[in-house]
């Protein structure tokens, strides 16, 4: 899989050399670091999970098209933190044609840059490496008159790589389907267990326990478990409030598996049933989500999906008496934004807000088979919202599914988690 990806990337290069760096180690305090997760681009091409590593792709090199710079073996350090691949492991286990220790980078990198005219590299992830590469390019530019031949162009490697990652192949979908399946299981257990008197963090713990039990090593992003007024905060992550019967609970959580993540949101009553006011809001959001999902198919623009959700949300806000006027004018004036202030969709894959352009030359991108996007409209009525009957305050609803664009339409990867009112209440009836 990784070898195929590297080959495809190098086929898209127009000569030159590509350089990718591993994710940095983030220190938490003193001698304790945060859990390490490899940079998605680096892992996509190498499958290598160790920090302090660098990947070099040189399609025109006669022998070393794939080169790695890694940490050396170190018996003492490995006693504390586990075995390292070292240079031998980089070649034998990960397929590198040649491997060096990272300390050899300054010595060896110029040798691979000799006689090539461009470097594919993404600035902004590693300041020290940025300066090193920029200095090398400048050196070659100013020394060309002396006969020194090397790269004088710097091209953003993401232009190729992120386009590759946008289109999921079968091997990508294998992991993504497992990630969404595990995510579904966590949400289902939470929907069964939530009740008044529990704290949000108890439901968070249950969701993440199910994720781990099903084989997910980590979350795709911090879990959002918001009850009552917290349902109206889009990225509420404190998860510390005690839930009360009769409120809504909004859970936005996704499991990561094989470096791919699910991203699901469900909103449901802490009690057994929605109140009439909650149900009114919920059904508007559900209708918007269903119609937006129905719009997902090849040839439809990314913006069209959002626009359909906006239309239904705005119509619902007018029907509820929250907005007054013609729907078309209200949409044009963005009068809906105090209630629905985010976009309906984003790409999904190795990152929860995955890579890939949304516009091509200023025009919204057209959906194609292999793309995966979320569909997640919402309505949020914060406490004290001016002009809104207080009975609607503290009602926040978002419903989110992960949708694969297929040749003939779409597939909802997260359909296993109920969202229709009758199905949600049936599940909650056993709580």
CA 218 from centroid of its chain's CA atoms:
13
346 is an active site residue: yes
Cα separation, 78 vs 74, whole angstroms: 6
Q: Residue 248 in contact with residue 228, Cβ under 8 Å? A: yes
Cα separation, 13 vs 301, whole angstroms: 28
Catalytic residue (choose from 398, 401, 402, 410): 398
Contacts 24+ apart (CB under 8 A), 80-88: 84/50, 85/48, 85/50
Catalytic residue (choose from 31, 35, 63, 107): 31
Catalytic residue (choose from 158, 308, 346, 410): 346
Tokens 């105090």: give the residue: 338
Report DSSP state, residue 199: B
398 is an active site residue: yes
Catalytic residue (choose from 100, 112, 236, 380): 380
400 is an active site residue: yes
201 is an active site residue: no
411 is an active site residue: no
Cα separation, 405 vs 372, whole angstroms: 6
380 is an active site residue: yes
Q: Residue 61 in contact with residue 54, Cβ under 8 Å? A: no
| Closest alpha carbon to 286 in 262, 271, 265 | 265
425 is an active site residue: no
Q: CA-based angle 372:377:383, to the nearest 5? A: 145
Catalytic residue (choose from 235, 242, 337, 420): 235
252 is an active site residue: yes
Q: Residue 148 in contact with residue 116, Cβ under 8 Å? A: no
Residues with Cβ within 8 Å of 7's Cβ and at least 6 positions away in sequence, in order, are none
Q: How many CB atoms lie within 10 A of CB 31?
A: 6
What's the burial of 81, exposed, middle or buried (CB within 10 Å: 0-12/13-18/19+)? exposed
Q: In the numeric block, which tokens belong to residue 353?
A: 């807000």
Query: From its phi and psi, is residue 369 left (phi > 0), alpha (psi between -120 and 50) or beta?
Result: beta
Cα separation, 6 vs 391, whole angstroms: 57
R_g over Cα of the chain: 25
97 is an active site residue: no
Catalytic residues: 31, 235, 252, 263, 342, 346, 353, 376, 380, 398, 400
């Amino acid at each position: 899989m990784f070898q195929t990806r590297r080959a495809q990337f190098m086929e898209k290069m127009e000569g030159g050399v590509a350089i990718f760096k591993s994710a940095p180690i983030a220190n938490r305090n003193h001698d304790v670091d945060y859990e390490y997760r490899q940079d998605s681009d680096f892992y996509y091409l190498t499958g290598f999970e160790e920090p302090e590593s660098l990947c070099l792709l040189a399609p025109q090199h006669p022998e070393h098209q794939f080169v790695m710079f890694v940490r050396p073996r170190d018996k003492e350090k490995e006693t504390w933190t586990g075995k390292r691949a070292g240079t031998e492991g980089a070649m034998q286990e990960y397929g590198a044609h040649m491997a060096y220790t990272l300390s050899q980078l300054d010595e060896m990198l110029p040798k691979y840059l000799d006689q090539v005219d461009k470097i594919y590299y993404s600035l902004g992830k590693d300041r020290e490496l940025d300066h090193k590469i920029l200095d090398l390019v400048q050196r070659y530019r100013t020394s060309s008159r002396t006969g020194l031949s090397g790269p004088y162009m710097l091209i953003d490697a993401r232009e190729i790589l992120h386009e590759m990652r946008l289109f999921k192949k079968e091997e990508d979908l294998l992991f993504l389907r497992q990630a969404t399946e595990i995510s579904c299981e966590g949400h289902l257990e939470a929907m069964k267990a939530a009740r008044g008197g529990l704290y949000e963090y108890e439901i968070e713990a249950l969701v993440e326990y199910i994720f781990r039990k099903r084989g997910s090593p980590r979350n795709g992003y911090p879990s959002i478990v918001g009850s009552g007024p917290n349902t109206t905060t889009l990225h509420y992550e404190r998860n510390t409030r005690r839930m009360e019967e009769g409120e809504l609970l909004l859970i936005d959580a996704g499991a990561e598996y094989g470096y791919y993540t699910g991203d699901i949101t469900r909103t449901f009553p802490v009690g057994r049933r929605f109140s009439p006011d909650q149900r009114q809001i919920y059904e508007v959001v559900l209708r918007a989500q269903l119609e937006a999902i129905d719009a997902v198919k090849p040839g439809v623009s990314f913006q069209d999906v959002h626009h359909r959700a906006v239309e239904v949300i705005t119509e619902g806000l007018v029907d509820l008496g929250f907005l007054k006027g013609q729907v078309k004018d209200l949409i044009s004036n963005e009068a809906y934004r105090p209630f629905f202030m985010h976009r309906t969709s984003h790409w999904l894959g190795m990152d929860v807000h995955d890579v890939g352009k949304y516009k091509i030359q200023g025009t919204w991108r057209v959906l194609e088979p292999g793309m995966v996007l979320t569909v997640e409209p919402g309505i949020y009525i914060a406490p004290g919202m001016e002009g809104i009957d207080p009975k609607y305050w503290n009602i926040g609803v978002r419903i989110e599914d992960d949708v694969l664009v297929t040749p003939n339409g779409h597939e909802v990867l997260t359909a296993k988690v109920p969202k229709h009112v009758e199905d949600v209440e049936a599940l909650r009836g056993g709580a």
